[in-house]
C-alpha cells in the first residue's frame, strides 16, 4: 500500500461528518413537514461516509501489518487456499499434539488465518518442540509451544489456567493429540488399549473440560476434534484406535447439542490416509496398495486437513455444529 494515512486524512473525515450533521440540521428546519424523508436521506449519507471511513482505515491497517510482518503476509497471499486468503484475526487457538505431522499443518493454517496459535507437546518432545518452533519462525509464523500431558486432567486444568491468564482467552480448541498401538484384539495387551484410549479420547475430555467454562462465559468458541476415517468405518487391527476415534464423534455430537445456543460450535474432522512424513517413509508397495483403495487416487495433503480445520474455526462458520467433515478422498462415504 503506497499511500500514507496522515493526520490530515483523519481531519478530512471528521470535517465531512461534521458538515453532514450541519446539512441534516438545516434540512430538518427547512423540511419540517417531511421529517421521514429527511431522516432517510440523512441515514444514507451518514452510511456512505462511515463505509468510506471504515474501508480507508482497513486498507491502512493492512498496509501497516504488511510493513511489520511482510513474510507472514506473503505466506497468506501465496497459500493458494480460499480459507486462508480471508484472515479471521484476533483469536487464540490451542492445538493439542500440534507439533505432529497433521498438527503442524493445522497450526500453519490457523496462524495464516490470523490467529495466535499455541501447540502442545509432551516432556520427551521438548527438544523437538524448540526446533519445531524455530522452523515455523523461518516460515514467518510465530507459533507458541506449551508442555502438557493431555492424558492428565490436573495438568490440563493447570495449562488452561495459565493460558487464560496469559492470553485472556482461548477461543479455538483443536484436539489433535493421538497415538496408535495396533494389533488384533486377541493379541492386544491391556496397556496398549488404555494408552490409546487415554491419549486419543480421554484427552478430549481433559482438555475440553478445562477450557469450556471460559468459552461459555464469553459466549464464543470453536472446538474441532480430529477423528479418523477408521473411527467411521473401522479398521482391522485397530479396535483401540477406532473405538477412540468413534467415541470422539459421539462426544462431539453430544457436546454440540449442549452448547448450540451459546455461540460455541463443536465439530470433527475425519482424515483418511494423509501423506505425512511417517506414511511417506513406508515401503512404496504398501503406500501404493493404500492409494489403490482411494477413489481420488492419491494420499491426502496435511494442508488439506489444516484448511478444513481453519474453515470450521472461522467466525463465519457459526451455523455448523455437530458435524463431521470427512477428508478422505472418497475412501468412505457412509
Please give the C-alpha separations between residue 100 and each of 81, 106, 144, 178, 251, in angstroms, as whole numbers.
21, 10, 14, 9, 23
Catalytic member of 241, 273, 319, 332: 241
Place of cell 483523519: 10
Query: Roughly what angle, to the nearest 10 degrees, separates helices 35-68 and 70-77?
Result: 110
CB 313 within 8 A of CB 110: yes
Of 95, 115, 93, the C-alpha closest to 104 is 95
- Is 241 tagged catalytic? yes
Instruction: Give dist(CA 171, CA 105) in Å, integer.
Output: 19
Instruction: Give dist(CA 291, CA 51) in Å, integer.
Output: 51
Contacts of 279 (CB under 8 A, 6+ apart): 273, 287, 299
**Helices and strands (H, E) in the chain, number of each type:** 13, 7
Instruction: Give dist(CA 175, CA 163) in Å, integer.
Output: 16
Cell of 58: 482497513
Query: What are the beta bridge partners of residue 223?
Result: 173, 266
CB 49 within 8 A of CB 16: yes
Which residues have a catalytic role annotated?
Answer: 241
Amino acid at each position: 500500500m503506497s499511500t500514507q494515512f496522515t493526520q490530515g486524512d483523519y481531519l478530512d473525515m471528521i470535517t465531512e461528518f461534521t458538515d453532514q450533521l450541519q446539512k441534516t440540521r438545516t434540512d430538518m428546519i427547512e423540511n419540517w413537514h417531511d421529517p421521514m424523508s429527511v431522516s432517510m436521506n440523512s441515514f444514507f449519507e451518514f452510511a456512505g461516509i462511515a463505509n468510506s471511513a471504515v474501508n480507508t482505515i482497513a486498507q491502512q491497517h493492512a498496509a501497516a501489518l504488511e510493513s511489520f510482518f511482510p513474510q507472514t503476509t506473503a505466506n497468506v497471499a501465496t497459500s493458494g487456499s480460499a480459507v486462508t486468503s480471508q484472515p479471521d484475526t484476533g483469536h487464540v487457538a490451542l492445538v493439542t499434539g500440534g507439533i505432529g505431522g497433521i498438527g503442524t499443518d493445522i497450526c500453519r493454517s490457523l496462524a495464516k488465518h490470523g490467529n495466535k496459535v499455541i501447540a502442545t507437546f509432551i516432556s520427551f518432545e521438548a527438544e523437538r518442540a524448540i526446533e519445531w518452533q524455530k522452523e515455523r519462525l523461518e516460515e514467518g509464523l510465530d507459533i507458541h509451544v506449551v508442555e502438557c500431558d493431555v492424558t492428565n486432567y490436573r495438568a490440563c486444568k493447570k495449562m488452561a489456567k495459565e493460558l487464560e491468564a496469559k492470553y485472556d482467552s482461548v477461543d479455538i480448541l483443536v484436539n489433535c493429540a493421538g497415538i496408535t498401538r495396533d494389533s488384533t484384539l486377541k493379541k492386544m495387551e491391556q496397556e496398549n488399549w488404555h494408552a490409546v484410549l487415554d491419549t486419543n479420547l480421554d484427552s478430549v475430555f481433559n482438555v475440553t473440560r478445562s477450557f469450556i467454562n471460559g468459552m461459555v462465559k464469553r459466549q464464543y468458541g470453536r472446538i474441532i476434534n480430529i477423528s479418523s476415517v477408521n473411527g467411521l468405518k473401522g479398521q482391522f487391527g485397530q479396535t483401540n484406535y477406532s473405538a477412540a476415534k468413534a467415541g470422539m464423534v459421539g462426544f462431539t455430537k453430544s457436546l454440540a447439542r449442549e452448547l448450540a445456543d451459546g455461540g460455541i460450535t463443536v465439530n470433527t474432522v475425519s482424515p483418511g490416509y494423509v501423506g505425512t512424513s511417517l506414511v511417506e517413509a513406508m515401503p512404496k508397495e504398501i503406500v501404493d496398495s493404500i492409494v489403490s483403495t482411494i477413489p481420488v487416487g492419491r494420499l491426502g495433503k496435511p494442508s488439506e486437513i489444516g484448511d478444513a480445520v481453519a474453515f470450521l474455526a472461522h467466525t463465519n462458520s457459526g451455523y455448523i455444529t455437530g458435524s463431521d467433515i470427512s477428508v478422505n478422498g472418497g475412501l468412505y462415504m457412509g
